[in-house]
Amino acid sequence: MAARAKTFLLCHGAWSGGWSWKKMHPLMAQAGHRLVAPTYTGLGERSHLASPAIDLDTHIQDILNVIAFEDLNDIVLLGHSYGGMVATGVADRARERVTQLIYLDAFVPRDGQSLFDLNEGGREPMHKAASAGDGYRIPPNPPPPDTPQADLDWLNARRGPMPIKCFETKLRLGHGEPAMPRSYIYCKRIPPGDVFGQFARRTKSEDGWRYFELDASHAPNVTAPEALMSVLEKIVA
């Protein structure tokens, strides 16, 4: 029996945008669900708004505004990669609207942590990369090596530099750990220097989590959309 129709609200990854989830819209619709995929300030179709002031709180507010203006309720909040930082903040500030939280190969911060606190190895190279450019943005990391050429061309034409403050901002949670059901999807095709294994280990062993694995690389919304949809269906069923 099909699951009741859900509204999935995306918090996308760094250097990206809602546009990169294009392949997921028909699959969501086919399954009877709705995918709302906004883009953060300063990226994608909103790249003309880029400024040194943009930080993690800007992106959390972007998503909170979508919830308010679209009047979304009973939300399945889906954080991919950097989007796990954003989703955790959104879940804290819109608790009455979010019924489930799903992390897809994503950062799972605790109160007071920044992305650089969770990826200490990235701090220095990314600061260097920002300094070599306009001083406040980091050029995109390359997409996973198993991305087909046509998808690579599509992604590389659209991915843009990421404001470094987003990675430096310490997340502030007003209500401690999110109280709603949480699931973690770990993508098993691991790049060198696996950043997300720490969260796989944590969510596998910590109470209050359901843990899933996907035989895909870091952006299954591009390289393995059907497999990703099947796991998401399992989670919300």
Computed on alpha carbons and rounded to an integer, the radius of gyration of the chain in Å comes to: 17
**Which CATH number belongs to the domain containing residue 17 in this structure?**
3.40.50.1820
Tell me if residue 81 is catalytic: yes
Classify residue 1: in a domain, yes or no: no
Q: At residue 2, does pLDDT exceed 60?
A: no
| Catalytic member of 20, 81, 114, 217 | 81
pLDDT 10s digits, 132-153: 989 999 999 999 999 999 999 9
In the block, which residue shows the tokens 């099947």?
Answer: 230
pLDDT 10s digits, 20-70: 999 999 999 999 999 999 999 999 999 999 999 999 999 999 999 999 999
- Across the chain, mean pLDDT equals 96
pLDDT at residue 190 in the model: 82
pLDDT at residue 3 in the model: 56
Classify residue 2: in a domain, yes or no: no
CA–CA gap between residue 89 and residue 227 (Å, rounded): 27
Structural domain for 103, as ranges:
7-236
Give the pTM: 0.97
Integer CA distances (angstroms), 37 to 15, 19, 23, 50, 197, in order? 15, 7, 12, 19, 26
Classify residue 232: in a domain, yes or no: yes
CA–CA gap between residue 100 and residue 172 (Å, rounded): 20
Classify residue 60: in a domain, yes or no: yes
Please name which of 141, 137, 139, 140 lies closest in space to residue 165, comparing C-alpha atoms.
Answer: 137
pLDDT 10s digits, 120-134: 999 999 999 999 989
Number of domains in the chain: 1
pLDDT at residue 232 in the model: 98
Question: Any bridge partners for residue 78, and if so which?
Answer: 10, 102
The stretch 182-188 carries a mean pLDDT of: 97
